[in-house]
Structure 1
Amino acid sequence: METTNVLEKPQPLPAENNSQQEQWTEIIQPRTNLFDLGLGDVWRYRDLVMLFVRRDFVSTYKQTILGPIWFFIQPLLTTITYMIVFGRIANLSTDGLPQLPFYLAGVTIWNYFAQTLTTVSTVFTANAAIFGKVYFPRLTMPLSIVISNLVRFGIQFALFLAVWGYYLVRSNSLHPNAYMLLTPLLLLLMGLLGLGLGMIFSALTTKYRDLAMLLTFGVQLLMYATPVIYPLSKLPVKYKMFILANPLSSIVETFRYAFLGSGTFSWGALGYSTAVTLVVLLLGTLIFNKVEKSFTDTV
């Protein structure tokens, strides 16, 4: 029986789709819109924010003897100094309140703003080596500073609550009220205002290093323009309007009024502070994002 070989025509292999693009997990591209804040990238890098928070906390007190106890020592020494200089020598009024809780209340909330502002203002110059080697959203760095300072505030706030509770039980001079519920809002305003101003100064200090030293001096002067060591009610009318123009004044006054029951409170003044904070934060974010593109050429 004769057999025949039948050659089958080979079937073509499926063509490879060479035009298919690879799926990248990260695409780095320049921003073309000034108002593109990149908040989505910041949220995706939230784990990095927490790592920066831990780094700031550990690096500050890793090789110290007392460690985090300095969180308690610093506000206590500052408060005692104010009690001696402004309370005893200058004999400034405290609205009939005991000096220790009066000054400690102002110092506690003021320190959060001052530390946030001064630390954020050096973000570019202090972290230039990191920024020049690896990509990550630059906003994560100042945001981590706000959070790490919030941890420090929490420890100092616990100290204030201990002193406040002692005077609340032992005397009748303190009259707390329901405005204590505004404390998270006051902290948010303090943190965002320090963040916005700090980002503005951090952008400027990339070219003008003198501003870093000027800022340290300016923060000290700003404290005297804020009712930290004196009550707003004791100021002459002609000076009170200038002090109220400072958005920090109503925040400090509200904090003190809520816990101590003495001072002034105004929804209008607090609304003014909120509006100024939002404007400064937006302006600071825009300037920060604009400068981050080319700051490595000037730092």
Structure 2
Amino acid sequence: MNHERAVREWDLTIEPHTSIFHLSLRDIWRYRDLLFLLVKRDFVSFYKQTILGPLWFFLQPLFTTLIYVIIFSRLARISTDDLPAPLFYIVGIVAWNYFAECLTKTSTVFRDNANMFGKVYFPRLIMPLSIVLSNLVKFGVQIILLLLIFLYYIIFKDYHPETN
């Protein structure tokens, strides 16, 4: 009985102005310069402190593919269904790298950039979107690497995928 009375005493309900699925693309477009600067910041800050710089875009998937080929194709002898092993593994590595980077970095973006949120207003979606876009640049470079490996197998190794 006491509980019912306490519930009736509350007469104010706080609700959001819009639903969770309503994205204000106009705000994102208005802050596109900030989005571009954050993408550039992510890109430059990650590779500026390394010796090889942006070459890591190419080297990381190549070395990972090499390790997969040695372990899974040579030592464990796992079949790739008549596909060249490097091509088979690099396709998965490139796709997985994009997904994993986006997931791990966006999961902590609000905690890592809390100091920016208190200083100036901008749409909060800009921060995770900048991470997804900077990873999309890396993904594009790695797709070019994937296409080069695919062309290598078509031209020099006489590998032609079946066309049905």
Q: The TM-score by the shorter chain falls in which range? A: 0.7 to 0.9
Choose 1 or 2 for highest CA Rg. 1
Once the two structures are superposed, residues 225-266 of structure 1 have per-residue CA deviations (whole angstroms, 9 ceiling, x without a partner) of: xxxxxxxxxxxxxxxxxxxxxxxxxxxxxxxxxxxx9xxxxx
Q: For the residues of structure 2 that align with 1:53 and 1:68, how far apart are their CA atoms?
A: 15
Q: Which amino acid aligns with 1:148?
A: S
**For residue 147 of structure 2, what is the aligned residue in structure 1?**
161
Q: Identity of counterpart residues, as a percentage?
A: 56
State the partner residue of 2:48. 62
Tell me, yes or no, if the aligned pair for 1:50 and 1:144 is still in contact at 8 Å. yes
Per-residue deviation, 1:31: 4.7
Write out aligned runs for 1:202-281 (5 A). Answer: none
Determine the C-alpha separation between the residues in 1 that align with 2:25 and 2:136.
Answer: 21
Q: Which residue of 2 aligns with 1:43?
A: 29
The residue that corresponds to 1:94 in the other structure is 80
Residues 47 and 176 of structure 1: CA distance in aligned 2, closer, same or farther (over 3 Å): farther
Q: 2: CA distance between counterparts of 1:71 and 1:87?
A: 24
- Greater RCO structure (CA 8 Å; 6+ sep): 2
Deviation of 1:84 after TM superposition, in Å, equals: 1.3
Q: Are residue 32 (structure 1) and residue 12 (structure 2) matched?
A: no
Unaligned runs of 5+ in 2: 1-14
Match 2:96 to one of 110, 115, 140 = 110
Task: Report 1:124-139 matches (<5 A).
Answer: 124-139=110-125
Cα distance in 2, alignment partners of residues 108 and 138 from structure 1: 28
Q: Deviation digits for residues 257-296 of structure 1, max 9, x if unmatched? A: xxxx9xxxxxxxxxxxxxxxxxxxxxxxxxxxxxxxxxxx
SS at match of 1:109: helix
Unaligned runs of 5+ in 1: 1-29, 178-260, 262-299
Asked whether 1:148 is paired with 2:138, we answer no
Pairwise CA RMSD of aligned residues? Answer: 1.9
Q: Post-superposition shift, 1:151?
A: 0.7
SS of the residue 1:132 aligns to = helix
> Could you tell me how far apart the structure 2 residues matched to 1:83 and 1:156 are?
18
In the alignment of these two chains, the number of paired residues is 149
Q: Distance in 2 between matches of 1:176 and 1:133?
A: 57
- The 2-side partners of 1:174 and 1:142 are apart by 40
Q: Deviations over 1:87-137 (max 9, x none)?
A: 122211101111111111111122111111111111111111111211100
The equivalent residue for 1:170 is 156
- What is the TM-score of this pair, normalised by structure 2? 0.83
Which aligned segments of 4 or more residues in structure 1 are displaced greater than 4 angstroms? Answer: none
Question: Which of 54, 57, 60 matches 1:71?
Answer: 57
